[in-house]
Structure 1
């Protein structure tokens, strides 16, 4: 139930804003069951904007699930926006700030070629941030077509200065600060160095200050989140994107002097991971603002697929003492739990005809020993047609008791299945994996940081060439490092490679990226190996040489239709004088090739031994 404005609030002075975040359009779009979920929820959000006749819609990032949305995803997004946001309704909000500075172009509702009834203002998130040539975001495409007003985009990562979007409706004035997604570590460092500035208006007391950002809010380790304490105190309201659990409460208040700002965390509109936080009810938020007074009203989304999450600890359950196998008793018990969850999901259905029928169910199961484990995929097939996610209903984790922790050795083997569950993103999982592998299997040349960032850019930004650039950059950097040394023996080469990797690991993040990009962009330099050196004189002197004498080369040349080896006379018999640097380069090239082949073979053998349980 939406709380009405105070009787003293006139409609001409009351600004109404619909707030949503993390729409993730295109999530699992190729899934036959869940492919339409993100679009259905987005359509409901915009329909609520029309229902409550808001002045504009404010999105907190991650409108898209991928930085390069598919044509089908862009088509559906465009269709939905045009359906609900275009029209002849007059806009009562006046824009006072420099539009070119805020949006890089004229705001869409002031474009004479467009008829906009409900403008959308949005920052970008980590899933739809700029990528590729020209650093173009999917939001740039929507912006240039007049569908979305994109603000808060940054190109200078050494310092951030935010100029607000100034809007006014009657006597209500809003200064809207947009801070699109930056890497949490980078932004945390910039805050610590006092390099994040927000332009404060001279008559600030007359303005209601809103900040919308897309960063980690929960503590995920040192410098891997943004504490609320670093944000400016003059803010009245902070809209926090990126966190998917919805934390919004009905509020009617006015900020008093020396009080902290209010934080609104809308959460996602679609479940993109089967975690406990995603099972909370999904919302968007209606903000009603009159001068410095405001009302926040959560609006439950009725078209979201029902999701039930439960935790089961088998040691705390009575599984019976039947004569059947223990894992069969466990399966029978868990089947009952899944059936209970399906019934619970049916009870919380909204009744909206557009709400998907099949629920999401996830059981997080802690088991005591291997005898209680079983094939989870086969278990899930019992619920085909009953749940939307039959292949990942269960997540099994080994229960760890206190006494077991005390008995374990200092170096404990990492449970990658559990690490996969607890990891916040794929980068965290990779860092955990590389830290857990034995020393003899660890990366000898590549930087773990560069690899994890490459995986992130590939998965989120669809940057297909990132791995080639990173691998080529590391290889060339390593060769340069070796050429600058005087290493000749294999042990000396290994030592120099280790030093090269240590120097890369200790390099600042921005410098590391620059080193790799610079090395990868250089034209290739071919270093001739011993095979390309004139060895005919050696065969002349020894009669046999290395098995590559004149006779062998001439025969090989004739056999392949290459006459150059047979026709060209051997050079002067005086042997070439080789410097230690050239010798090291030749040995290094062969050694790196052998190392790469050996590691590739080892990875193929080891890949069958790594099993990450869901």
Structure 2
């Protein structure tokens, strides 16, 4: 049990369990690794109960997908209810406007719920709002009373954060939450001084914490948030999104000191990529706060699957000489390395019965010659039942490949240019952008905006927004067509110039303007689709309503006399045998009729046709008599 300072009164000491990047549902369909994220989340909440914390604070990415599966939501709900509900009294008080902080009252004040350990959470880039109404999976947990969701922001032109004010005894906590925003957008808002955090008038008495979910490591210009742009009045920053755990024991006394703050980077609780950072020990953290003094204690997670990551450079290894060919020699060498990693992973087992037994093993291998390369998947089959990831135990890379590809680029090879751009891209968005930028002039996009495509790729991969590509493509097509219709372009060159100008407007727009242009065009496209659907529905309904009055008409009469009556009316209209001058009747004026009036008109026409038919037959009979005389 972690003890606080002896002089700290328990009634005035606020205890908070901190975790981030739970990624519930990661590889949930995998037979071996499908339960890893849920096992780790259960340990986090059980640890909160063990240390009897006042509340649990999550730094985003509770879910791995923006649209979690029903099974994932079910398991999440089950775990939260198991550990966070109960009759234990709550010793904290929220002093700020809860409707402004959470859009509803905090869950432990709901008379229909018995909450013992409240969860406060922001959203990350994996579980941010998506779809109609911009609803996040955390919104669903919030409305059901399982999680208190804060830090949501929808105005991308400015950010104004109101803190959650929490008090326990004489300890006052001002908690600022900023859910995930696109890093380039947030970096620009910080640079333009458009990020505002409300500071209490008696700010000296409050301990200020900011929890955010952004890139902390430098991933390119304006693609991360620098600690230097954060307000200096902060005492502690809890940084989500980065998966390598950097939680160290901290004891600090602020006492109104300004100009510096401490950072807690909890890291993820489950390995979502086989990278070196994910192989570090996983933690959650216990924060104990007494007035302006605080202690941070890292708590190692014991149910995390063991993970060993190693880098192997074949040119630095003594593979020896022999009669075995180079390929087999390398494979035998790497098999020994994998077996050594498996033995090393056995030492990481904590003894917890819930900890998965099969380890994750990843060897990053750099080779020199082509005869040292081989089939990785076939190699991994040697370790079925021994490791959790037999299909991707190895990742093979050619030594000095970047330099070689740059040499190819200097020689004018187009493929080398594209491969270098792809190899240096830090993420999928940058990869797509670099790919299009590396294309020659004749293969550049002429209608689509590259930035719109990259953001669509991001929404598809992270938010699982399956409809995003259709919306973006429809919006571009509609905007291009409208631009051509508004112009006087006739020749092919004029049309190409008009399309180029249309694309330049999209390329010159910033992210917010681009999103507005696409949303406006997409809204028009959706309105058009709805109108078409409504028209189809009306056309389908029309014959059904009209047939209601025809059911009483006998079938034989409809096919017999009614048809002859129609021919009689046709002869009268052409000035045939009818009496009087053969003047053509003026065309009827079109009239908008409801279905009922149309049905009534059809029934009346049918009666008139029968009457006309009988009158013609009488005239025909009389004329035949006169001729016979």
Whether these two folds match at TM > 0.5 is: yes
Which protein has the bigger helix share? 2
Between the aligned partners of 1:440 and 1:399, the Cα distance in structure 2 is 33
Between the aligned partners of 1:385 and 1:73, the Cα distance in structure 2 is 26
Residue aligning to 1:238:
237
- 3-state SS of 1:240 partner: strand
Residue aligning to 1:169:
168
Between the aligned partners of 1:456 and 1:9, the Cα distance in structure 2 is 47
Structure 1 85/439 Cα, relative in aligned 2: closer, same or farther at 3 Å? Answer: same
Residue aligning to 1:303:
303
Stretches of structure 2 that go unaligned for 5 or more consecutive residues are 530-629
Stretches of structure 1 that go unaligned for 5 or more consecutive residues are 526-614
How far apart are residue 289 of structure 1 and its match? 0.8
Residue aligning to 1:261:
261
1:363 paired with 2:358, answer no
Residue aligning to 1:59:
58
Residue aligning to 1:432:
434
Between the aligned partners of 2:356 and 2:418, the Cα distance in structure 1 is 34
How far apart are residue 436 of structure 1 and its match? 3.2
Between the aligned partners of 1:288 and 1:84, the Cα distance in structure 2 is 21
Between the aligned partners of 1:36 and 1:234, the Cα distance in structure 2 is 41
- Given candidates 457, 473, 476, the residue that maps to 1:474 is 476
- Given candidates 462, 465, 479, the residue that maps to 1:463 is 465
Residue aligning to 2:177:
178
Could you list the per-position Cα deviations for residues 186-233 of structure 1 after superposition, in whole angstroms to 9, with x for gaps in the alignment?
111111111110001111111111110000011111111110011111
Structure 1 416/397 Cα, relative in aligned 2: closer, same or farther at 3 Å? Answer: farther
Could you list the per-position Cα deviations for residues 153-184 of structure 1 after superposition, in whole angstroms to 9, with x for gaps in the alignment?
11211111111111111111100001111111
Structure 1 61/107 Cα, relative in aligned 2: closer, same or farther at 3 Å? Answer: same
Kindly report the root-mean-square deviation, in angstroms, between the aligned alpha carbons of the 2 structures.
2.0
How far apart are residue 430 of structure 1 and its match? 1.7
Residue aligning to 2:81:
82
Residue range with higher mean Cα deviation, 123-132 or 477-486? 477-486
Could you list the per-position Cα deviations for residues 493-520 of structure 1 after superposition, in whole angstroms to 9, with x for gaps in the alignment?
3444334333322221111122222223
Contact 1:457/1:466 (8 A) holds in 2: yes
Structure 1 174/330 Cα, relative in aligned 2: closer, same or farther at 3 Å? Answer: same
How many positions carry a matched residue from both structures? 524
Between the aligned partners of 1:172 and 1:197, the Cα distance in structure 2 is 24
Bigger radius of gyration among the two: 2
Residue aligning to 1:329:
329
Structure 1 444/211 Cα, relative in aligned 2: closer, same or farther at 3 Å? Answer: same
Structure 1 279/450 Cα, relative in aligned 2: closer, same or farther at 3 Å? Answer: same
- 3-state SS of 1:493 partner: helix
Residue aligning to 2:153:
154
Contact 1:397/1:418 (8 A) holds in 2: no
Between the aligned partners of 2:18 and 2:512, the Cα distance in structure 1 is 34
Could you list the per-position Cα deviations for residues 22-73 of structure 1 after superposition, in whole angstroms to 9, with x for gaps in the alignment?
0000000001110000000000000000000000000000000011100000
Contact 2:362/2:392 (8 A) holds in 1: yes
- 3-state SS of 2:305 partner: coil
Contact 2:4/2:288 (8 A) holds in 1: yes
Structure 1 421/168 Cα, relative in aligned 2: closer, same or farther at 3 Å? Answer: farther
1:519 paired with 2:521, answer yes
After TM superposition, the score normalised by the length of structure 2 is 0.80
Could you list the per-position Cα deviations for residues 466-508 of structure 1 after superposition, in whole angstroms to 9, with x for gaps in the alignment?
1111111111222233334444444443444334333322221
Could you list the per-position Cα deviations for residues 137-160 of structure 1 after superposition, in whole angstroms to 9, with x for gaps in the alignment?
100111111100001111211111
1:46 paired with 2:39, answer no
After TM superposition, the score normalised by the length of structure 1 is 0.82
Could you list the per-position Cα deviations for residues 105-134 of structure 1 after superposition, in whole angstroms to 9, with x for gaps in the alignment?
110111111111100000010111111111
- 3-state SS of 1:178 partner: strand
Q: Equivalences for 1:154-553 in 2 at 5 Å? A: 154-255=153-254, 257-400=257-400, 404=404, 407-410=407-410, 413-414=415-416, 423-522=425-524
Contact 2:282/2:300 (8 A) holds in 1: yes
Contact 2:92/2:166 (8 A) holds in 1: yes
- 3-state SS of 2:315 partner: helix
